[in-house]
Amino acid sequence: MQSSLKSIALIGTYLPRHCGIATFTAGLAAAILDNDPNIDCSVVAMNDRPEGYEYPPTVRFQIRQDRLNEYGLAAGFLNLGDPDAVCLQHEYGIFGGQRGGFIVELIQDLKIPLITTLHTVLRDPSSQERQIIVRLSELSHKLVVMSERGADFLRDVYHVPESKIALIHHGIPDVPFLDSDPCKSKVVADDKIVILSFGLLSPGKGIEYMVDALPEIVNSHPEVLYFVVGATHPHLKAESGEDYRLSLHLRAKELGVADHIVFHGRFLEHDELLEIIRAAEIYVTPYLNEAQIVSGTLAYALGAGKAVVSTPYWYAQEMLANSRGKLVPFKDHRALAHEINYLLDHPEERLAMRRAAYQYCRPMVMKEMGCRYMELCSEAKSQRSRATGLAVLHTLSQREQRLPQVNLKHLRLMTDDAGVLQHAKFTVPNRSHGYCVDDNARALIVATRAHDLDRTDASLADLSAIYLSFLDDAFDPDTGRFRNFMSYGRKWLEEVGSEDSHGRALWALGVMTGWGLSSGQVAVATKLFKNALPALETFGDSRAIAFPILGIQAYLRRNDDDQRAWELLQTLGDRLSRRFTQYATEDWNWHEDQLNYDNARLPQALMACGRAIQNDDMVSLGIDVLEWLRDVQLNPSVGWFAPVGNQGWFPKSGSKAQYDQQPLEAAAMIGACIEAYECTQAEEWIQLATTCFEWYLGKNDRQSKLYDHASGGCRDGLQRDGVNENQGAESTLSYILSLLALYNLRELTAIHNAGEKPERDSYTVDRSDMRLKSVDLP
């Protein structure tokens, strides 16, 4: 087929990466070229590891999935190349950010028509997942789904207009309809009956139920061999090795069917896979739940004319309708055995099923799929109003400020096997002051959130383990309290630490519980978090109330059924609110008679708590307090951030100290601004967060940089005569927390551009939006 298209760019994972999306992207590229070999079909590849992969020349640009800045660079690269259309393969897990939100940064900067293929369409999305799809819809010429149910979900759940939706089935190899016998000799002895499951191996595939079904199948058909073909999913392997595969081996041996099962534990090339599919009599997908909108492996098997037995996930229900296959209940090995034995006992019915499946899938062959995508690209191209010459380049004033890369070099230098040291002499760790819970709690938050941002960096889990271990050792079960200070000789220097340090430890443990990626670390943090909560009943310090509120909010992401935590959150929020309402006046909107340190964490906690418990008055109070703090801490003549100095603070009856200004205050204001933006989606809070971050970079009262790009550390404060050149833990961690928060804000602003923004008087959040999907915790 000759088309008017000259070039198409694809975005997605790509072979040799072992990933279903990579196989699809490579198949789509080949299908396009099969239709028109003159098209320049290039790829922007998503990488899940720093070293990338040995890609073919087709891959022209690579994005490390957890590097937000690289998404903008990719958009610029595509705009300069100016292809006729871009085809994006969307799956939440292959992009960085919360639920893959970083991809919005790329597509919102594209000047080229976009076709987006949705490999997952959720029936019950979180608010963030819904917003991502809505944003994709707004920025795409078409959303492509691979099943009727996917189209239904887009219409009914996401309210995507019908005109935006295109149904193009998953492509399949164009192979002849053959019996298995002529193909079997390349794989197994001719007298064997092959039952097959293939694809990347993970617990969700339900292979254990097929193993459980084998004794009954083998009893009726002793010549059966069950082939489990495919490597363990790379991310599962990184987390738990081959535990799942080994458990299947053990299960087969215990059931006496080890001689009837073959594990082929590698990622097969295309031709190898087709040979094994051709050799199979029956293909099985015993998946564990219905929420799968497409399955490339099922499409391949049906397209080759295989008899299929499957659990009723969404795609299987659609593809196996009208006697094209057999459906069995989830997690029912007896039903699997019954249907497989039935098909083996009734070859005529099996043949009719195979023919029905094969004929149904003929329009799905790869070349036809490629043709359909080319039609969409041509349609998008024809509707594009082209500008002549080069793609538009933004001036610096038009371009959003790029964020620095997250650099943990100095944090790693300050960390030993006990924890992070408190202080430094210039950039050299100072051992004489030892360690404290405050800094190790901050470090645990940093390591946990940095790992969520960059899931490819396993060393971040090693860091969080050190900080978590420090907190675990600091907790005294006899008193129910954390000790705070430890000498470099590993001796605790007090029996009971401050209320502040206890509250900050709870905040960090809540973050690990709600955001951590290591199940073992999450388990330790959860136990310690619960054991440390009772002490809050007697706390009087307001910050020691605010910090745990932030920790409980994070904890509830994975534990929203913990009624005790919800009740404690409400109690703490009410207690903090009363302190403001009872003490604040019209010209002094504060809970006590002095502004000192970490001030903005208090309104942040009020807003976070109010948003979680659906208390608009509490959110409004937090916003009012934050607005007052903003007015106090912005330099009125030039508009830059000027926090309260620690040489005198700011007493109610006195004047605000200008110096020494601490990095801790900028971090607190940025965190509070992001919470305010979450509540209101008002652009003013984005600008204020940016202003506070620029304080680190030299936009301050001394026009001096606090952040040291060379070391990755942050100087300890802004003084009257310049900066304190020591780069201690608190300052460095404050900077990194600020940067991580801005990465989160960048993602939020991109996603929140979808749909209408809420009015100022509505801050409520559905509890389901706080839940973390189980797939986020390997």
Question: 506-531, pLDDT tens digit by residue?
Answer: 999 999 999 999 999 999 999 999 99
Q: First vs last Cα of the chain: how many Å apart?
A: 45
Q: Are 30 and 64 in contact (CB under 8 A)?
A: no
Q: Which 8-state DSSP code applies to residue 229?
A: E
More confident residue, 759 or 235: 235
**How far lies 464's CA from each of 93, 447, 471, 517, 610, in Å?**
22, 5, 11, 10, 29
Cα atoms in the 13 Å half-sphere on the side-chain side of 400: 21
Band (399; pLDDT cuts 50, 70, 90) = very low
Extract the tokens encoding 706.
């606090």
Radius of gyration of the chain (CA): 29
- Torsion over CA of 388, 393, 395 and 397, rounded to 10 degrees? 110
Identify the three-state secondary structure at position 41.
strand
pLDDT value at residue 181: 67
Q: 195: closest CA among 96, 340, 292, 311? A: 340
- pLDDT tens by residue, 231-288: 888 877 777 788 999 999 999 999 999 999 999 877 777 788 888 899 899 999 999 9
Residue 352 burial (CB count, 10 A): 14
C-alpha separations of 337 from 196, 197, 228, 328, 739 in Å: 14, 15, 16, 10, 55
CB-count burial class (<10 Å; 0-12, 13-18, 19+) for 491: exposed
Task: Please give the torsion angle defined by the CA atoms of residues 560, 562, 564 and 565, in that order, rounded to the nearest 10 degrees.
Answer: -40
Q: Give pTM, 2 decimals.
A: 0.78
- What is the reported pLDDT for 67? 87
Contact 93, 12 (CB under 8 A): no
Q: SS3 for 116?
A: strand
- What span, in angstroms and rounded, lies between the C-alpha atoms of 730 and 714? 9
Length of the chain: 778
- Category of 548 on φ-ψ map: left (φ > 0), alpha (ψ -120 to 50) or beta: alpha
Residue matched to tokens 């920025």? 139
203 vs 570: CA distance, rounded Å: 38
pLDDT tens for residues 545-584? 999 999 999 999 999 999 999 999 999 999 999 999 999 9
State yes or no: pLDDT of 421 exceeds 70: yes
Nearest to 168, CA basis, from 139, 141, 148, 153: 148
Cα 123 from Cα 115, distance rounded (Å): 22
User: What is the side-by-side strand order in the sheet with 485-486?
Assistant: 421-425, 428-436, 485-486
Instruction: Specify the range with the lowest mean pLDDT, choosing from 24-28, 150-154, 651-655.
Output: 651-655
Across 380-465, where does the E strand assignment appear? 421-425, 428-436
Instruction: Give the model's confidence band at 183: pLDDT under 50 very low, under 70 low, under 90 confident, else very high.
Output: low
> Mind listing the pLDDT tens digit for each residue in 625-665?
999 999 999 987 788 999 999 999 999 989 999 999 999 99
Give dist(CA 742, CA 670) in Å, integer: 8
How far is 237 from 61, CA to CA, in rounded Å? 27
Per-residue model confidence (pLDDT) at position 594: 93
Helix axes 563-583, 601-613, angle to 10 degrees: 130
What is the number of alpha carbons within 13 Å of residue 403 lying toward its C-beta?
26
Please report which helix (H) or strand (E) contains residue 341, including its range.
Answer: helix 333-345
Q: Is the peptide bond before 472 cis (omega within 30 degrees of 0)?
A: no
Concatenating the DSSP letter of every residue in 416-436 gives: -SS-BEEEEETTEEEEEEEEE
Helix (H, G, I), strand (E, B) or coil at 61: strand
pLDDT(620) > 80: yes
**Mean pLDDT taken over the chain:** 91
Q: What is the mean pLDDT of residues 2-25?
A: 92
Strand partners, 117: 89, 144
What CA–CA distance (Å, rounded) separates 706 from 727?
9
The whole-angstrom separation of Cα 696 and Cα 739 is 10
Distance CA 713, CA 732 (A): 5
Spatial separation of the C-alpha atoms in residues 434 and 423, rounded to whole Å: 8
Lowest-confidence segment of 66-70, 297-301, 322-326, 431-435 by average pLDDT = 66-70
Q: What is the pLDDT of residues 441-484, one digit of tens each?
A: 999 999 999 998 887 788 999 999 999 999 999 999 999 999 99
- DSSP 3-state assignment of 166? strand
Q: Can you tell me the distance from the alpha carbon of 441 to that of 434, in angstroms, rounded to the nearest whole number? A: 15
Residue 152 region by backbone torsions, left for phi larger than 0, else alpha for psi between -120 and 50, else beta: alpha
Instruction: Name the DSSP letter for residue 650.
Output: E
Q: What is the pLDDT of residue 232?
A: 86
Output the pLDDT for position 777: 39
Q: How far is residue 43's CA from residue 621's CA, in Å, rounded to a whole number? A: 50
